[in-house]
Amino acid sequence: MFVRRTIETHEEARIKPSKTYQSFVAAAGSHHELSFIERDVRNYITGEVRNISEEDDAKEFGKGQLRMKEKNQNFFFELNLEADHYIKHVFWADARSRAAFEYFRDVVSFDTTYNTNRYNLVLGSFVGVNHHGQSTLLGCALMKNEDIQSFKWLFECWLHCM
């Protein structure tokens, strides 16, 4: 309990996990005297101290998108939440991406990544090719799954945006 509270206190004070671990080593006399390693401290911080619920993250993400829209009216986003307020689909494109599409709309590619993020959301990106043959980002999406309905929703948003 003492170790957990110390880690939490240090995290609130923005003390680096390595420094927190070193304080435990100094107090114990040696790292051999501890029943945990520095990685355990980092895992505890990630898993417990910074544990923000998926629902709260979805709300904050939506608020962030609204702030972007307030700053620039040409910012576009569509957010589709599930009944439990988790992200189901989201698509966004900033003003620069929308303007780039007007010039570089001849070739547009869409690709998705594997589920690599914390919530197993699939990241998709719309990419065009500029007059120098370089890739230019035209829009991004997060999707809960890669089913027909998700892609239908996404491509309808893409068409509405562009």
Greatest Cα pair distance, the chain, in angstroms, is 66
Which residues of the chain form beta strands (DSSP E)? 76-81, 87-93, 108-112, 122-129, 135-143
Q: What is the pTM assigned to this prediction?
A: 0.65
Q: What is the pLDDT of residues 119-149, one digit of tens each?
A: 778 999 999 999 999 999 999 999 988 999 9
Question: Which pairs with CB-CB distance under 8 Å and at least 24 residues apart come from 109-112?
Answer: 112/143, 112/146
Q: What is the pLDDT of residues 46-75, one digit of tens each?
A: 776 555 566 677 888 889 999 999 999 999
CA atoms lying within 13 Å on the CB side of residue 130: 10
Per domain, the residue ranges of the chain are 1-49, 54-161
Length of the chain: 162
